[in-house]
C-alpha cells in the first residue's frame, strides 16, 4: 500500500532542491523571462551539485526510472522516481523554464533510463539529453513519426525534422524517435541517442514562445546524420507483437514528472495568491463552509482542493513506478489532472489578484503563461483523456480514436 509519509532521505533531497529554487531560480526568474534564449549562466554553478546528486541516487533525473529488468520489490519502495518527483516539484516552485534548463536533467534522460541496456546506461548515464519526438506533420500522435533510421554498416543514418525540442540547442545529446522500417508501422519506431556533434545534425531555429522563455526550444534537422550502431536504445529488433510499447514506456516515466512540474508551479501560485488576498483583508478559513466566506476565499479553497488531488495522483503514479507496478493509466491520470489544474489555478489567480495579477510586479502572470506548456507537452490534455478512456474501457487505439 502506498505510504504518503516521505522517507528522510527524500525530504533532505527535496529541501536541497527547494533551497536551489529559492536562492538561485526564483531571484532570476523574471530576468530570463524578459531575455528569451539568453543562457542562464547561474545554472552553471549547479552542474557539479546535480552530478553529485545523481551519483548518490537522488538526482532529479532519477537514474533508475522505470527499469523493467530491476529485481522485484519487497515491501514499499521510494526510489529514483519519487526522488525525481519531489525535486522537480520544488525546482518548478522556483521556475519551470529554468528547471528545464538545468544541465543533465533533460527529458531524454528519462527515456534513456527507461529503455537503455545496462551497457548504454554506463555510456549515457551522465549526459544531458533532450527528447526529439514531435515533427511538422504531427503533434500528439507519436506513432506518426516520419523520421527514418537506416543501418549502413556499423552506423545508423537518420533523416528528418524535429520541432519543439526542449533544450534542443543546449543539451549534449538528443534522444530521437525514428522508424527503422516504414512497412512495419509503429512497431518499427525506435529511439536513438544522437550526440550534439554528430555529422548531419543542425539547429534550424529557436522558437519564440508564450512561456518558459528561459528554456530553449529548437527545431532540429537530421540530414544523413550518422551515429554508431549501438546508439539505438534497447533492442534493434522490430517486435510486431510488442508493438509500440517499448518507446511508449518512456512516457510512463516522464508524464508523472511533468505532472510534478505543474504541482510545483501550482503551489507557487497558491502561496502568492494567499498572500495577496490576506493583504487585501480576505480571510481564508478551513472551519467555515466555503459558501459562507468571501467569494475569493471560496474560489481559493476550491483551487487548493484541485491542487491536492493533482499532487496525490502524481504521488500514486510515481510510487507505482518505483514499486514496479504498471502505471500507464495512472501516469496519464496524473498528467491530465495536474496539467489542467496548473493552468486553471494560475489563470484564476491572475483574475482574483486584479491589477496585481496582470502586472509584472509579482510573477503571477508569468506563471500563467508558463503553465500552459505543462498541459501540452508529453501528451496534450485531450490525448491523456483518450488514453485513460482506452485503459478503463479496455479498448485499443484502433477501436477508440
> Is 245-393 CATH 1.10.150.110?
no
Q: Name the class of domain 129-231.
A: mainly beta
User: How far is C-alpha 266 from the chain's CA centre?
Assistant: 15
Domain ranges within the chain, ordered by starting residue: 8-124, 129-231, 245-393
Cα–Cα dist 342/245, whole Å: 29
Q: What is the mean pLDDT of each run of 10 residues along the chain (401 residues)?
A: 74 92 96 96 76 51 43 62 93 97 87 87 92 88 88 97 96 96 89 97 97 97 98 84 64 91 98 98 97 97 98 95 92 98 98 96 97 94 95 92 87
pLDDT for residue 50: 62
Q: CA–CA separation, 302 vs 291, rounded Å? A: 11
**Beta strand pairing status for 129-132 and 173-179?**
parallel
**CB 94, CB 20: distance < 8 Å:** yes
Which residues have C-beta within 8 Å of that of residue 74, sequence separation ≥ 6? Answer: none
Architecture of domain 8-124: Orthogonal Bundle (1.10)
Q: What per-residue confidence (pLDDT) applies to 243? A: 54
Amino acid at each position: 500500500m502506498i505510504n504518503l509519509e516521505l522517507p528522510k532521505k527524500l525530504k533532505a533531497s527535496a529541501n536541497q532542491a527547494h533551497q536551489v529554487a529559492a536562492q538561485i531560480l526564483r531571484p532570476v526568474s523574471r530576468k530570463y523571462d524578459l531575455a528569451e534564449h539568453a543562457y542562464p549562466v547561474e545554472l552553471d554553478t549547479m552542474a557539479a551539485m546535480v552530478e553529485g546528486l545523481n551519483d548518490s541516487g537522488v538526482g532529479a533525473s532519477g537514474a533508475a526510472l522505470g527499469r523493467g529488468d530491476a529485481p522485484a520489490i519487497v515491501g514499499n519502495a521510494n526510489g529514483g522516481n519519487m526522488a525525481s518527483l519531489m525535486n522537480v516539484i520544488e525546482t518548478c516552485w522556483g521556475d519551470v523554464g529554468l528547471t528545464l534548463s538545468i544541465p543533465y536533467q533533460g527529458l531524454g534522460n528519462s527515456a534513456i533510463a527507461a529503455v537503455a541496456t545496462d551497457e548504454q546506461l554506463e555510456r549515457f548515464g551522465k549526459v544531458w539529453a533532450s527528447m526529439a519526438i514531435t515533427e511538422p506533420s504531427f503533434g500528439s500522435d507519436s506513432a506518426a513519426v516520419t523520421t527514418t533510421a537506416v543501418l549502413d554498416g556499423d552506423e545508423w543514418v537518420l533523416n528528418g525534422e524535429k520541432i519543439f525540442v526542449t533544450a534542443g540547442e543546449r543539451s549534449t545529446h538528443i534522444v530521437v524517435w525514428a522508424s527503422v522500417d516504414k512497412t512495419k508501422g509503429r512497431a518499427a519506431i525506435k529511439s536513438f541517442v544522437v550526440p550534439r556533434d554528430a555529422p548531419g545534425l543542425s539547429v534550424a531555429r529557436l522558437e519564440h514562445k508564450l512561456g518558459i522563455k528561459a528554456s530553449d526550444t529548437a527545431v532540429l534537422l537530421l540530414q544523413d546524420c550518422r551515429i554508431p550502431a549501438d546508439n539505438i536504445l534497447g533492442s534493434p529488433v522490430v517486435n510486431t507483437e510488442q508493438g509500440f510499447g517499448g518507446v511508449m514506456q518512456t512516457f510512463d516515466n516522464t508524464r508523472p514528472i511533468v505532472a510534478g512540474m505543474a504541482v510545483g508551479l501550482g503551489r507557487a501560485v497558491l502561496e502568492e495568491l494567499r498572500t495577496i488576498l490576506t493583504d487585501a483583508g480576505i480571510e481564508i478559513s478551513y472551519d467555515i463552509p466555503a459558501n459562507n466566506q468571501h467569494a475569493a476565499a471560496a474560489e481559493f479553497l476550491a483551487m487548493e482542493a484541485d491542487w491536492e488531488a493533482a499532487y496525490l495522483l502524481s504521488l500514486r503514479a510515481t510510487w507505482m513506478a518505483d514499486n514496479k507496478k504498471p502505471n500507464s493509466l495512472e501516469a496519464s491520470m496524473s498528467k491530465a489532472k495536474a496539467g489542467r489544474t496548473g493552468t486553471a489555478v494560475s489563470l484564476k489567480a491572475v483574475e482574483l489578484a486584479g491589477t496585481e495579477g496582470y502586472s509584472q510586479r509579482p510573477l503571477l502572470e508569468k506563471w500563467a503563461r508558463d503553465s500552459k506548456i505543462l498541459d501540452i507537452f508529453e501528451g496534450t490534455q485531450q490525448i491523456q483523456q483518450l488514453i485513460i478512456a482506452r485503459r478503463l474501457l479496455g479498448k485499443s487505439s484502433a477501436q477508440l480514436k
